[in-house]
Amino acid sequence: MKKKSFPQSEVYRLLEPGPVVLVTTVRAGRGNVMPMSWHLMMEFVPPLVGCVISNRNYTFETLKRTGECVINIPAVELAEKVVACGNASGRWVDKFKAFGLTPVAAACVKAPLIAECYASMECKVVDRKLVSKYNFFVLKVVQAWIDPTRKRPRTIHHQGEGEFMVAGRIIHLPSPKTSLAG
């Protein structure tokens, strides 16, 4: 595998811009993949990530039962596979096989990383207080990975109704803070 361990303190830089991610889980020995856009950072170190997953989704039940997942970040080259994953259910389809994604064993959780994604975060559920009311899970990133050969991955950002914004140019502005949330 090309991915290298990525520092926990830098995880927010991957998720704060709001990319579509692919959430992997495993149940009865079979992996599943679900695209997700409803996520936010909640803490720098250890990195906490909040996310809403519809309770109509197979991933919702799996995450509730197993308490583990991997958040993978695809670049624009995978956009069609991302949409395909969103239009099928893991109840009926092995999405790894159906859409040509490659599962890779994680270090700390049973859910697999996706080889084709440039970054992956192994996560454990740490707070379920808002699950029943909002389908909102709090996850802790226990191990993060990145493909260091991908210099400028173009993430995709969902705008609804099949419309995605592709990450554009980078600008730098002086800021003493690590995050605008501060």
Q: What residue ranges bind a second copy (CB under 8 A)?
A: 10, 12-13, 16-20, 35-43, 48, 50-54, 56-57, 76, 79-80, 82-83, 86-87, 127, 129-130, 133-134, 136, 138, 154-182
Could you tell me the smallest distance in angstroms from the CB atom of residue 43 to a second copy? 7
Q: Could you tell me the end-to-end alpha-carbon distance of the chain, in angstroms, rounded to an integer?
A: 35
Specify the residue, 63 or 156, whose C-beta has the smaller distance to a second copy: 156
* Nearest distance, CB of residue 94 and a second copy, angstroms: 20
Q: How far apart are CA 72 and CA 35, in angstroms?
A: 9
Beta strands (DSSP E) in 37-128 are 39-43, 48-52, 68-73, 103-104, 113-114, 119-127
**Nearer Cβ to a second copy (28/170):** 170
Is residue 115 within 8 Å of 102, Cβ to Cβ? yes
The distance of closest approach from Cβ of residue 122 to a second copy in the complex, given in angstroms and rounded to an integer, is: 20
Complex with a second copy: residue 35 or 103, whichever CB lies closer? 35
Q: What is the DSSP letter of 1?
A: -
